[in-house]
Amino acid sequence: MYSNKAVQQWVEEMMELTKPDNVIWIDGSEEEKDRLTKEALSIGEIEELNQDKLPGCYLHRTNPNDVARVEHLTYICTDKEEDAGPTNNWMNSDEAYAKLSELFDGSMKGRTMYVIPFSMGTVGSEFSKIGIEVTDSIYVVLNMRIMTRIGKRVMDALGDSADFTKGLHARADVNPDRRFICHFPQDNTIWSIGSGYGGNVLLGKKCFALRIASNMGKNEGWLAEHMLILGIESPQGEVSYVAAAFPSACGKTNLAMMLPPNEYKDYKVWCVGDDIAWMRIGEDGRLWAVNPEAGFFGVAPGTSRKSNPNALATVQSNTIFTNVVRTPEGTVWWEGMGVDPPAAGIDWRGNEWTPESGEKGAHPNSRFTAPASQCPCISQEWENPKGVPISAILFGGRRAKVAPLVYQSFDWENGVFIGSIMASETTAANIGQVGVVRRDPMAMLPFCGYNMSDYFAHWLEMGKKIPNPPKIFNVNWFRLTDEGKFAWPGYGDNFRVIKWIVDRCNDEVDARQTEIGYVPNSTDINIDGINSEKGYEDFNIESLEDLLSIDMNVWAKEISDIGEHYKMFEKLPSELSIQYEGLKKRFGM
Ligand code: OXD
Ligand code: MN
């Protein structure tokens, strides 16, 4: 047990509520990891994989009813509904505590409660935040060990302080009817029940580092964002850092670990983080970002030698795989791995499976949990307590027609506008058909823990306070040709666009002013070598010009959609209405 009185008292309250048989205080040691791994193996919580081929790797399967984050069961619980705003589910705090207390009551009977002290950010950094998660899941403990910094060193950093986020998790009966992920920003508290799936139960990640931390950021003058962070090193050894927000399933992890194409062999890309950025104004007047996490909780399907060789290398040891295929030799496989499937295996549900069955072997949202330190391109600065200075912020989504490959906002306010109208589409398989548009401002729709209008206002406020702000860009890797094919090869070739962005930040390249922002002159994006890519043999300067074009008709519809989207925000900051009117005017509307 740790001596911090506030922690002791709170854990005792949680014990009274959940009534576990035992309590284990996590110290974070290797000896403890071995003991818990053995215990998890003995109760079937994890399976050992082939230790010669995948040393330190294990496989976990969730309940088939529990395979993803549950936005419809995720609540922001405050006294006033207005504080949660139009984009969040809301419950009154007292009602939520009462309702969930009934579910938590006795939920750990016959089970062990683990008390996990964890730090988001390097332990002891003035930018880091401490949380305590109590949980009845060893899987959670083993994952939190990878995704955050845990144990005694965190308690040493906390000292006697009562300044910690309180996270309570119980798996209970894993019933979707009794599943709730509730956040109480006023009390710095998270209660999660009825799930064993990562995003719902690894409370340091989406729950704390985004929903609770976005509230802290608003109150304390910083930003908690759903952004990867990467560094680009020039042949002269200068590194420029970029933070980028994309909705889930737009390839954040791939971009964060990208390999530059052959034409840019002298450049290096360094990964600082793949999912979350905490950003503060530094003494030099720039915006500095840290990755508060210590690991990657990445989507496995589609991760291949082509899409992300660095991620594949990262998960060869000390990794927990969730809901992937187990091969007969005790290794793992998933759809889109770029290697032949095994003739037979065990699928994500734990059933025998063959590729001929027509069923997916791995769940589409199957995951790997791997230490960031194992990534071959991890930045030397990734644990720097001060973070890294951000030159550019990128917003992006899947847009078949609307957004050009890249454009730069006119200024910070215009950049906030671009973030506020961010959207992603599902693309239909049919040629040229466009699917449903989901507006996802700053990729924070499921993660902003307070009223989104106030969140926009906070971004605008930050812009006024940052003497030397990053430049803001929008990118779109997913534009389609009229034949319905991806017009841009993506993956490593995205480097060509990021290079233009960095050059813009360094005032090294011109641009064309358009209705929506600054668009590259087509000769300024190097396309040498793209036509050696399979499927892009005919790519030429006209293809690039197409990708950079702005279709007036498509934008007329987009502008009317933005108007609809904005109707949701009763308290929309006037700066954004002015931005919207300005856009309309530039299109002659
Ligand atoms: C994630 C997500 O898991 O954004 O990172 O859904
Ligand atoms: Mn994410």
Q: Say how many Å lie between the CA of residue 557 and the centre of ligand 2.
A: 29
B/e letters for 102-138, b = 16+ CB within 10 Å, e = fewer, are ebbeebbeebbbbbbbbbbbbbebebbbbbbbbbbbb
- Catalytic-labelled residue, pool 57, 207, 250, 375: 250
Burial of residue 567, with CB atoms counted within 10 A of its CB: 0-12 exposed, 13-18 middle, 19 or more buried: exposed
In this predicted structure, the answer to whether residue 431 has a pLDDT above a threshold of 50 is: no
- Counted residue by residue, the chain has a size of 589
Q: Give me the chain's average pLDDT, please.
A: 96
pLDDT of residue 124: 86
Please tell me the residue having the least CA distance from ligand 1 atom 4. 248
Percentage of the chain exceeding pLDDT 90: 95
Q: Say how many Å lie between the CA of residue 209 and the centre of ligand 1.
A: 12
Ligand 1 pocket member 275 (CB < 6 A): yes
Tell me the angle at which helices 574-586 and 452-465 cross, rounded to the nearest 10 degrees.
90
In this predicted structure, the answer to whether residue 429 has a pLDDT above a threshold of 90 is: no
Q: Do residues 441 and 474 lie in contact, with contact meaning Cβ atoms separated by under 8 Å?
A: no
In this predicted structure, the answer to whether residue 167 has a pLDDT above a threshold of 90 is: yes
Number of H helices, E strands in the chain: 15, 31
In this predicted structure, the answer to whether residue 1 has a pLDDT above a threshold of 90 is: no
Return the DSSP state at 402: S
Please name the helix (run of DSSP H) or strand (run of DSSP E) that holds residue 460, with its range, or none.
helix 452-465
Pocket probe mutation, ligand 1, options 200, 206, 227, max atoms within 8 Å of Cβ: 206
In this predicted structure, the answer to whether residue 367 has a pLDDT above a threshold of 70 is: yes
pLDDT tens figures, 535-561: 999 999 999 999 999 999 999 999 999
250 is an active site residue: yes
Indicate the Cα dihedral angle 133, 136, 138, 139, nearest 10°.
Answer: -80
- Atom index in ligand 1 nearest the CA of residue 367 equals 3
Please tell me the residue having the least CA distance from ligand 1 atom 1. 248
In this predicted structure, the answer to whether residue 432 has a pLDDT above a threshold of 90 is: no
In this predicted structure, the answer to whether residue 435 has a pLDDT above a threshold of 80 is: no
Ligand 1 pocket member 248 (CB < 6 A): yes
pLDDT (average), residues 26-50: 98
- Going by pLDDT thresholds of 50, 70 and 90, the confidence category of residue 430 is very low
Strand partners, 320: 58, 369
pLDDT tens figures, 178-187: 999 999 999 9
In this predicted structure, the answer to whether residue 436 has a pLDDT above a threshold of 90 is: no
pLDDT tens figures, 437-483: 999 999 999 999 999 999 999 999 999 999 999 999 999 999 999 99
Q: Say how many Å lie between the CA of residue 248 and the centre of ligand 1.
A: 5
Q: Domains in the chain and their CATH numbers? A: 5-44+70-221 (3.40.449.10), 225-294+380-586 (3.90.228.20), 295-374 (2.170.8.10)
- Find the ligand nearest to 322 CA: 1
C-alpha 189/C-alpha 85 separation (Å) is: 19
pLDDT of residue 57: 98
Measured CA to CA in angstroms, residue 364 lies from 74, 298, 299, 350 at distances of 21, 12, 8, 15
Please tell me the residue having the least CA distance from ligand 1 atom 3. 199
pLDDT tens figures, 175-224: 999 999 999 999 999 999 999 999 999 999 999 999 999 999 999 999 99
C-alpha 546/C-alpha 390 separation (Å) is: 30
In this predicted structure, the answer to whether residue 576 has a pLDDT above a threshold of 50 is: yes
- Going by pLDDT thresholds of 50, 70 and 90, the confidence category of residue 532 is confident
pLDDT of residue 248: 83
Q: Say how many Å lie between the CA of residue 206 and the centre of ligand 1.
A: 8
- Going by pLDDT thresholds of 50, 70 and 90, the confidence category of residue 434 is low
